[in-house]
Amino acid sequence: MTMLTTTLRRTTASQRSLALLQSQRRHGGSVSKNKHVENWNNWRGDSEKRFRFNGHFFTYLAAGGIFPFTLYYVLGSDERVRGYMSPA
């Protein structure tokens, strides 16, 4: 008798917890999407289709990345040779 009662209690408890989990659904409600976030997400998803490595891109890459680094390195090496960097 005790075993039957324990088994019934366990199955009833598991059915109750399953019903609670199934009824706990969350819907978006009145949440509206941000237009700018959606546009950015679409742009980010399509970027590999629009990317082309050509002369125009290489010009921007050199002007924005390689040239400033080279200029900084050359000016810094000149300063290091002359010893202007040391405060003493």
The verdict on residue 65 lying in a domain is yes
- 64 within domain boundaries: yes
pLDDT 10s digits, 41-66: 988 888 888 778 888 888 988 889 88
pLDDT digits (tens, 9 = 90+) for 11-29: 666 666 666 666 656 666 6
48 found inside a domain: no
Which tokens sit at 50?
Answer: 């629009």
Q: Which residues, at least 6 apart from 13, have a Cβ–Cβ distance to it below 8 Å?
A: none
Between CA 28 and CA 35 the distance in angstroms is 17
Q: How far apart are CA 70 and CA 1, in angstroms?
A: 87
- Please tell me the total count of domains within the chain: 1
- Domain of 71 in residue numbering reads as 59-83
Flag whether the pTM goes above 0.85.
Answer: no
In a domain, 63, yes or no: yes
